[in-house]
Amino acid sequence: MSALLLLIPVALFLGLAGLAAFIWSLKSGQFDDLDGAAARILIDDDAPPEEIERMERERTAREKQRTAFKQPHPGTQTNRDE
């Protein structure tokens, strides 16, 4: 029983620390560009600059397209004055 008096606060502290780390990573943009990290591993370091620029333009175009068609979550309210 006395072990629970120690383990429960420790578990709560570790859970809150993990939650705080997750929220910090969301706010600092760690999950903003998941496709870019996957594409950068494929970029050849010896590739000509034109090729790298083309790949970056394609990546930004995909990002713009993805954010342009993002639909609001069904539970959210929209402010439409019709």
31-72 pLDDT, tens digit each: 877 777 777 777 766 777 788 788 888 888 888 877 766 666
Number of independent structural domains in the chain:
1
In a domain, 82, yes or no: no
- Which bin fits 29, alpha (ψ -120 to 50), beta or left (φ > 0)? left
- Answer yes or no: is 76 within a domain: no
In this structure, is residue 57 part of a structural domain? yes
For residue 41, the enclosing domain spans 32-68
Cβ–Cβ < 8 Å for 44, 20: no
pLDDT of residue 72: 60
pTM for this structure?
Answer: 0.46
Is 54 a domain residue? yes
- CB atoms under 10 Å from CB of 39, counted, come to 15
Q: Within a domain: residue 25?
A: no
Which of the two residues, 20 and 62, has the higher pLDDT score? Answer: 20
